[in-house]
Structure 1
Amino acid sequence: MSFDEASSEKWIIEKLQELGWTYNTPEELEDMEDNKYFLRETLLNSLRKMNSIPDSLISDAVSKLEELTPSKDGNSKFLNFLKNGINVIDEHRQIHTVRLIAQSNKYNNSFIVTNQLSIHGKSNKRPDILLFVNGIPVVIMENKNPYNAGSIDEAYNQIKGYEESIEGLFTYLQIAVINNGINGELFPLFFNEKGKDTRAKWKTSYPMESKQGSEFETLLNGVFNIDNFVKLLLNYTHIRKKGDRNEKILARYMQFRATEKILNRIHNNMDKNLKEPKKTGLIWHWQGSGKTLIMAYTAYQLRKTLPDATILIVVDRKDLDNQALSSFSDIQGLELTKDIKNTTELGDLIAYNNGNAMPGIFIVTIQKFSPENFKSIVKDSTLNNNVICLVDESHRTQYGLMAGTFRNAFPDAFVFGFTGTPIRKKSGGNIRNTFEEFCPPGEVYLDRYTMKDAQEDGFTVPIAYEYNAAIPAVKDHIINEALELDEEAEGLTENEKDLLNRKIRVIKELYKTDANVDTIARDVANHFKNEVENTNSGLKAMLVAVDREACVMYKRKLDKLLAPETSEIVMTFGHNESSDIISEYRDELQKRTGKDAKQACKEFTESFNISGNPKILIVTDMLLTGFDSPKLWVMYLAKPLFEERLLQAIGRTDRPFRDKDYGYVIDYVYLLGTLNKTLNKYEGGPSKPGIQGIVISREEIEKDFIKLLDETYAIFGNFDFSDNSHDNLNKLIKILSNPEISDRFEKNFRKLTAMLNLPRAKAYLTLHIDKYRQLAKAYGIYVNNLKLGAVNGEKVQEAYERVKKIISENFFLDVENRGNFTIDRDYLNTLGKTRDYGSALRALNTWHTEISNRRFGYPGLLDRIVDAYQKLLNAKAVNDEILQQIKSIKDTMDSIAESESTEGETKAAFREAIKISLGDVNADILNPFCDNLAVRPGIKSLLNGEKIVRKVDRAKIQKSIRYAYIKVFGAGDLEKEKTSVGVIYKNLRDTFGF
């Protein structure tokens, strides 16, 4: 596929046609009325086809569409109309629901794609591609060429610009797609502040067979085949409450894929006559991938397709129960039927309708299935085929007596497990195997999304790991004993837990001696003040203590070292605490906050995400699973944790946040060995070390930094970075002008910068900083001279600014900037003598940025600049042809400037559009043609600054061009006349954006 933007656009349209969309040129589409952004006749015809009601009611529904405002509220209401239809009232006060989309037969809808359609607003814009469903615009696509200001970031910036200039269109648009022909992303549209949109890749064509193709082709196949697209629009796009505001969410590809697999399994196995129905499945997705949302998407659709179904969301602890409850209740249109608060309510649910179970969505903890409290329900089990159980954190409690009771209560149910860390091991004589519990024979998992997948997709960041020998390390065999005992405690009675806890109390006591707690607290306070709080990034920390008493001990110590409001404990409190330390603290907490201890802990957790304080949460068990806070950066680990529990805990730090290149774990226990073993188990294999690329230990950081430095230097061959001569600079620019080299260099250098920006990293990476300095200079040259038109690209420029900040603050290096210079005749004369490659690139780069930022478009001139730039990159030298192109571009720039000074910017842009259309004509022909055309209908209003150019005006403009052409060139050659008129019309559209 060509990288040319026009051919890329053509290819996208052809691809969409293959996927079921109908292409119409802008001229073929009906004209949009003033300030209306849908194709009215197409809409009316579609609504008549779908709804058997009088036209007057359909008109009423359309009026409600027209009344929507360009705002979050208007966009939200339109999404609700799409999903549920529009209610209108007839003359008899009867309510009718007007459907906007035919859901049962998707192909009864109209699916139209068009390109370069003029949209009127504060200024006229022509988005690259628009997609209409039943005449309503729902998708906007912006395409960029990698070699022509081609970053996806620029496409994003352009979409956000459209959101302001043609905001009315965005009342209805639901999805935006940005791409450069090879890579692509999509995000839901909701009038968000620039930079706040959730951009994501789509890396599966499911359920289509996966074919070899670009990332963007996979996105098109996966999102825009008609079946998937209608599902995404109606079932996977939602408004969700977040704090005191609403946000729009769009399913990620792995969430869509997993949900569809669950739904397919349910619908394909409901027949009771099947001999071996598959009624289970394991969703093995890493933390942060949105497993709770998969459950929500599943429940939402089951309520529509199986209204009599009983959907149980089964969680394993009360804190997770609350999280799941929030995730469901906050999504508009997903009404939770009930939060099952006790065993009696659970019994009522099962016994409903003669044991067929109550329809709806219910959240229940697995603990409510304890045998001693549930004997009466076991014998009254339900055989209802419509019971669907979605089990969260299924690796933890689906093996013992409670799990057995649960299965006995619903012997004919569909049961799907959700986990990031399934278990397959023997512990204390008990076999714990998540795969056996949730997978049909021969199936390892229904769907999987790994830690590595999450990092590659940008949904999580790597975790930097550092062992801190503040206290003596415990011998491995003692820690392993603690592991076995602690793991076995899950699912046992309180008396059994007490017996086991006595055996491991010696281990825990080591981590809560006053001396050790004091040592760790001082180290935590010092590190937090110097490396976390001083960054002013809003990032926070968590201290994991060995038990609840240790939590209180740390809080007491930290209150003397940091402001008391900096840290808070989040843990459980009993009514009759046997520990004086805990009971005294509970009483103090309740007096200080004026709240019940449980409520206070809940509010501390919420405030951690939305307020300044607390900055450090002190925990022992709570929040180590299920807690999702992008602000959590550093985990101070002062408790032995192993395997799944260790992986779950450190995973709390891997959620992305601004200026957060890594999560950060400081380990006071020395768990690196078991961490590496665990990562091998889950992410590695015989030839793939689990830790590499997922968790980076401090012991490995320096080695990796040096290795990456060497690899990056190797990209440049034998280039001498110490030579600061102009000739050597020119040589460097030639090397970096190879797109393959520059791409590798940019990726490597940004990784190096991220590693250097780790807390405490500079202390042991300073020895290597001279080599980094040289690369930083090269990066500055690359950004300022070789990123054609993309110097304002957010990610590149943001990375560059961070590089300069790191270097200037720590290593006193001035990174080379573009600086001010004038590209005049002397500059070009010097270029003609020296054939300076870098100077030529700089000139073209500067011109491209300047022309791109003009009020009017200069498409012909931009094409010439890009053509010269690409030829220069390929030639690696300023040859005669390229030199002449550069001089010719300069002549055009001067001509435009002169024209602007005498005629103004509008007339100058108009004249340039005509000039490039007519080709090599002299002023005796050009001037009469421009003068004759300027006073004709359509053109005159265009030059007077009228923004709205209707279909009728476009017809006038085409007719005026033809009359002017005949007037100046005469009639006769009809084919040439038709071609010339078409070229002039296109260039005027590109210039004035109509």
Structure 2
Amino acid sequence: MIEAQARKYEPIAVSNESTVVSVYDADPSKETSYQSESQLEREFIHRLEGQAYEYVELTSEEHLVANLRAQLEALNRFTFSDEEWQRFFKERIASTGDGIVDKTVRIQEDHVQLLTRDDGTTKNITLLDKQNIHNNRLQVINQYAVDCGEGGASFSNRYDVTVLVNGLPMVHIELKRRGVPIREAFNQIDRYQRDSFWAGSGLFEYVQLFVISNGTQTKYYSNTTRRQHVADATGAKKKSKTSNSFEFTSWWADAQNMPILDLTAFGKTFFAKHTLLNILTRYCVLTSDRLLLVMRPYQIVATEKILQKIDISTNYKKLGAVDAGGYVWHTTGSGKTLTSFKTAQLASRLENVNKVLFVVDRKDLDYQTMKEYDRFEKGSANSNTSTAVLKRQLEDPSKKIIITTIQKLSTFIAKNKGHEIYSGHIVLIFDECHRSQFGDMHTAITKAFKRYNLFGFTGTPIFAENSGSGGNPQLKTTAQAFGEKLHTYTIKDAITDQNVLPFRIDYVNTMKVGSVIDKQVSAIDTENALLSPVRVSQVVSYILEHFDQKTKRAVGYALGEKRVRGFNSLFATASITAARTYYNEFKRQQAELTPDRRLKIATIFSYAPNPDSEDGVLEEEGFETENLSGDARSFLESAIADYNQMFGTSYDTSSDSFQNYYKDLSLRLKNRDLDMAIVVNMFLTGFDATTMNTLWVDKNLRSHGLIQAYSRTNRILNSVKTYGNIVNFRDLEEATNDAIALFGNKDAAGIVLLKPYREYYGEYAQKVSDLLEKFVPGQVIESESGQNEFIKLYGEILRLKNILTSFDEFAGNEVLTERQSQDYQSVYLDLWNDRKKRETGEKEQITADLVFEIELIKQVEINVDYILLLVQQYREERGDGDDKELRAGISRAIDSSPSLRNKKDLIENFVDSVSVNGSVQDEWTAYVYKQRECELEEIIASENLKREQTLGFVDLAFADGLLRTSGTEVTKILPPVSRFSKDMNHSEKKRRVIEKLTVFFERFFGLATRGKND
């Protein structure tokens, strides 16, 4: 966590061209005294007024709409007639059925709307001026209130501070008093979305950015982060593979990556008019999936540095020289693809630029960058499939951005000497410029083009210290190849900002290499010794024994089907021979395990020039399987056949099929269909999967290769994933420390690496001791202050335990017994449910909105089959006098499970009815089906629903694992409403039915159906 400092921030250099302040001056002498929330709010609004925001009092939607009309008239220098305004407002601004996505698209992509005038002519009406940003008018309002029922609002809410841009709410600021966690403000915004943002005309769904602050700490995020978080929390996206939530909020900073946390400093910099308007109009990206991404400060700085370099080199006639370019060092996982896309997009709009070429390695284009670019702009990366296509694109004046591979570009150059494109102003942007751009292809490109800017993005630059040998002897460092460093954002910065996770590293000693192998012995002999059957067997046994622990893989069974939660992993081996040896050993050892305990493992490798190199550099692997030795290719065919049998596919080692195998395997890793992939070099650079948390290493790594490989594990996913797990079977500690020092700084290790076990355990033991001293297991806590203290304390214990479980030393050293844990967890869940029920949305009545670590509980929660196992024991022991404790144990287990608590009466009634003989599983299934049918019929009767339509609607929900409460499907099950009916409020009827069906669905979901919902 970043330590906030109450300081005075003064920008040193700000211009209309620079969105991010260059540097700020901190004055530590001025301390900020205690401020209430209202004082904080007043001070913030006063700050905005001083920055030329107009403060207006708008207390109702009628006032908000009237102000919107006036602002749009001023922006467009046009006066609406009343009829024109009503028509434009209803059709172009507050169209029925429009939601957050529609309104975001309107702002980001369709900000000029067509008005049909009273005389039948048309006129363009601009909602947001993106060409001349200072034509837009900024206003600030506060304490805008929505009463329960007003415009359909579920509850009353009062919003803190909102910035209007041309009258539309586009930035909302939620404040808490100093000392209160800012996550409470995040959670409060979630409630607004559920309860009232959509009410009435839904103008607050135009909010693009949210800012949360407690005065001391301030963060910002896009409406997508909020919307996705609510969807995840409510189960609206059961199949989502990521959890965009509070972890995806961002800090603001200056150009030197120094965080600007205090609200006053944040208001001075982020809310400077040109900064805010630039972010809204230039530095947001709406993806093809309709997710709004807002760039972080370091991304904006890098983009603007490149645009500035293009401008300066053009004016000073330096095009075609190294001085006209440069490189951006942004660590792996920091969003280089988004930065490079936005850079290419903005550069292509410069008047003097003819083309922007985004150049990547072939493998990346096919499977990583292409997908990302196509996500940012549909179709942008699909068509460049050959050199002939590249030639047509280069000759087409309308194609301003072209994405190609360095291989295709060099082939084009070889075949098209003297082409006219070489004399145009071309901006070349190289992705991951540390890899393939230092050899003959780089030289050919720079010789062919005459008027160019050359820029590179890299997470691990080549310096003199790690340049090694090989390639063009004249181009040994990134700076020599691309020019000066334009901006730096290191792994230390990214971890400090919580944009990526720190690493936790284990060094598992399976063989004392020094005692059996002299360091002067050749690498291949060393590798042969390390591949001795005894050692390989030990490594595989360790992985199988510790896999669940390291990946937090919890295996459960629901209605006879295996269900796995947790993460997956890569196993980096030193050579093709090693990959083959390990793959076969895994097959041998797993054959002795029961099917439910076996891991799903695949392997992939291809030809590399030096496949058995030992110097720690990650060699490039392409798709040239035809260059593999006969034995290696034969083994790969066999391994792919295993994969085909596992997933019902039909790949082989032929060129096109192997590339499709690569693509399918990468997708299955991202979707957690695979537990582990055994690799040599593939996937160790450039591959991103948020679901991956562990890298097993039996390979020498160093320098940029080491950081690249380790960084496969540290992408943010959710609160369960708190670090990237590295398990080294070689002594790489010195290499690790050297790499961290090189790519962070000499003091970075304390931030990049997790603390030692003893520090976490000491804190855990102390907090458990406090818990046992202050709270009796299972006892009700009556006072609200006591409840709050318990919630915080138990939440901290859960977070610490989540970290400690991956340490081997923690096994057997848990302080709490299983029974104590269940009792405390039950109280914790009681309080969670109670707080959910007490939420009214009214600001004055909200109690402390504490963070409940439910996600951490769910990763190891009790499942139905465990309960049924206890029921089986209960039945067998009934009458022996020992069944009371077992029955109490069943109740405790249910109470400690978030997903089973609403099913408690079902389970306990079943326990009472279970027969002496017969299958517990079969009796349970029959019982659940009967109960489900009865409860659904009761809902249908009480609400007078259309029976057949309701049955179909519910069956579809259980089949899909999702109850669809939006759209028209739910309205089809409602009875027709007569104008003479007492139940005239159709929306209230719909709300009540949805509420009942939601409770019903959550109660029976996962109990009475098989397959998708498991």
Query: Where on the TM-score scale, by shorter chain, does this alignment land: which range?
Result: 0.5 to 0.7
CA distance in 1, matches of 2:773, 2:442: 71
- Partner residue of 1:109? 136
Whether 1:619 aligns to 2:679 is: yes
User: Which blocks of at least 5 consecutive residues in structure 2 are unaligned?
Assistant: 1-31, 234-242, 556-563, 607-622, 652-656, 776-784, 836-843, 863-984, 986-1014
Residue 765 of structure 1 and its aligned partner are, at CA, apart by 6.6
Q: 2:749 aligns with which of 674, 691, 695?
A: 691
- Partner residue of 1:162? 192
Whether 1:66 aligns to 2:94 is: yes
Amino acid at match of 1:386: H
CA distance in 2, matches of 1:22, 1:82: 26
Query: Equivalent residue of 1:186, what SS?
Result: strand
How does 1:183-262 map onto structure 2 within 5 Å?
183-190=217-224, 191-194=227-230, 196-199=243-246, 203-204=251-252, 206=254, 214-241=261-288, 246-262=290-306
Q: Normalising by structure 2, report the TM-score.
A: 0.64
Query: Equivalent residue of 2:513, what SS?
Result: coil
Query: Equivalent residue of 1:116, what SS?
Result: strand
- Partner residue of 2:182? 152
Q: 2:309–2:324: 8 Å Cα contact kept in structure 1?
A: yes
Q: 2:169–2:206: 8 Å Cα contact kept in structure 1?
A: yes
Amino acid at match of 1:360: K
Task: Identify the range of structure 1 (534-543 vs 647-656) with the bigger mean alpha-carbon deviation.
Answer: 534-543
Residue 163 of structure 1 and its aligned partner are, at CA, apart by 0.9
Q: 2:510–2:539: 8 Å Cα contact kept in structure 1?
A: yes
- Partner residue of 1:524? 543
Distance 1:791 1:369, change over 3 A: same
Distance 1:198 1:804, change over 3 A: closer
Q: 1:22–1:113: 8 Å Cα contact kept in structure 2?
A: yes
CA distance in 2, matches of 1:408, 1:251: 35
1:96-136 deviation per Cα after TM superposition (whole angstroms, max 9, x unaligned): 64321222322222211111123443334321111111111
Whether 1:458 aligns to 2:498 is: yes
Query: Equivalent residue of 2:63, what SS?
Result: coil
Aligned residues: percent identity? 20
CA distance in 2, matches of 1:230, 1:542: 43
Whether 1:5 aligns to 2:37 is: yes
Query: Equivalent residue of 2:264, what SS?
Result: helix
- Partner residue of 1:488? none
Residue 284 of structure 1 and its aligned partner are, at CA, apart by 0.9
Amino acid at match of 1:668: F
- Partner residue of 2:721? 660
Whether 1:436 aligns to 2:442 is: no
Q: 2:211–2:219: 8 Å Cα contact kept in structure 1?
A: yes
Q: 1:391–1:418: 8 Å Cα contact kept in structure 2?
A: yes
- Partner residue of 1:579? 630
CA distance in 2, matches of 1:21, 1:326: 40
How does 1:771-920 map onto structure 2 within 5 Å?
793=849, 795=851
How many residues are matched?
741
Residue 723 of structure 1 and its aligned partner are, at CA, apart by 12
1:194-227 deviation per Cα after TM superposition (whole angstroms, max 9, x unaligned): 25545455544657x9999743334334432222
* Higher alpha-carbon Rg: 1
Amino acid at match of 1:215: D
Q: 1:337–1:360: 8 Å Cα contact kept in structure 2?
A: no
Residue 295 of structure 1 and its aligned partner are, at CA, apart by 0.7
Q: 1:701 aligns with which of 742, 752, 756?
A: 756
Q: 2:757–2:804: 8 Å Cα contact kept in structure 1?
A: no
Residue 745 of structure 1 and its aligned partner are, at CA, apart by 10
1:686-740 deviation per Cα after TM superposition (whole angstroms, max 9, x unaligned): xx2x4323124xxx72454478789x89xxxxxx9899699xxxxxxxxx99x9x
Amino acid at match of 1:177: V
Distance 1:512 1:374, change over 3 A: farther
Distance 1:178 1:518, change over 3 A: same
- Partner residue of 1:546? 574
Distance 1:257 1:725, change over 3 A: closer
Q: 1:14 aligns with which of 42, 46, 52?
A: 46
Q: 1:758 aligns with which of 796, 806, 813?
A: 806
Residue 528 of structure 1 and its aligned partner are, at CA, apart by 1.5
CA distance in 2, matches of 1:217, 1:210: 18
Q: 2:307–2:343: 8 Å Cα contact kept in structure 1?
A: yes
Query: Equivalent residue of 2:145, what SS?
Result: coil
1:111-167 deviation per Cα after TM superposition (whole angstroms, max 9, x unaligned): 1111112344333432111111111111222111135xx332221222111112221
CA distance in 2, matches of 1:362, 1:87: 32
- Partner residue of 1:449? 489
Distance 1:406 1:283, change over 3 A: same
Amino acid at match of 1:458: Q
Q: 2:107–2:127: 8 Å Cα contact kept in structure 1?
A: no
CA distance in 2, matches of 1:54, 1:269: 53
Residue 87 of structure 1 and its aligned partner are, at CA, apart by 4.3
Q: 1:311–1:359: 8 Å Cα contact kept in structure 2?
A: no
Whether 1:302 aligns to 2:335 is: no
How does 1:112-511 map onto structure 2 within 5 Å?
112-119=139-146, 120-123=150-153, 124-146=156-178, 150-166=180-196, 167=198, 168-190=202-224, 191-194=227-230, 196-199=243-246, 203-204=251-252, 206=254, 214-241=261-288, 246-271=290-315, 273=317, 278-306=323-351, 309-332=354-377, 335-336=380-381, 338-339=383-384, 341-342=386-387, 344-346=388-390, 352=395, 359-368=399-408, 374-377=413-416, 380=419, 382=421, 384=423, 386-425=425-464, 426-428=467-469, 430=473, 433-437=476-480, 440=483, 443=484, 445-473=485-513, 504-511=523-530
CA distance in 2, matches of 1:753, 1:725: 19
More helix by share: 1
CA distance in 1, matches of 2:318, 2:628: 54
Residue 25 of structure 1 and its aligned partner are, at CA, apart by 1.8
CA distance in 2, matches of 1:743, 1:157: 16
CA distance in 2, matches of 1:743, 1:250: 33
Residue 547 of structure 1 and its aligned partner are, at CA, apart by 2.6
Q: What is the RMSD of the two structures over their aligned residues, measured on CA atoms?
A: 4.9
Query: Equivalent residue of 1:287, what SS?
Result: coil
CA distance in 2, matches of 1:202, 1:219: 12
CA distance in 1, matches of 2:580, 2:503: 28
Residue 608 of structure 1 and its aligned partner are, at CA, apart by 1.9
Distance 1:569 1:742, change over 3 A: same
1:305-353 deviation per Cα after TM superposition (whole angstroms, max 9, x unaligned): 44953111111341355311111111247845853633x5555556x38
CA distance in 1, matches of 2:77, 2:712: 51
Distance 1:654 1:725, change over 3 A: closer
- Partner residue of 1:24? 56
CA distance in 1, matches of 2:602, 2:568: 12
Q: 1:201–1:219: 8 Å Cα contact kept in structure 2?
A: no
Task: Identify the range of structure 1 (507-516 vs 620-629) with the bigger mean alpha-carbon deviation.
Answer: 507-516
Amino acid at match of 1:100: L
Whether 1:99 aligns to 2:126 is: yes
1:737-782 deviation per Cα after TM superposition (whole angstroms, max 9, x unaligned): 9x9x99999999788545423242404977x999xx99x99xx99x
- Partner residue of 2:978? none
Amino acid at match of 2:334: S
Residue 606 of structure 1 and its aligned partner are, at CA, apart by 0.9
Residue 367 of structure 1 and its aligned partner are, at CA, apart by 3.0
Distance 1:723 1:311, change over 3 A: closer
Residue 798 of structure 1 and its aligned partner are, at CA, apart by 5.3
Query: Equivalent residue of 2:315, what SS?
Result: coil
CA distance in 2, matches of 1:375, 1:749: 63
CA distance in 1, matches of 2:177, 2:297: 25
CA distance in 2, matches of 1:582, 1:447: 44
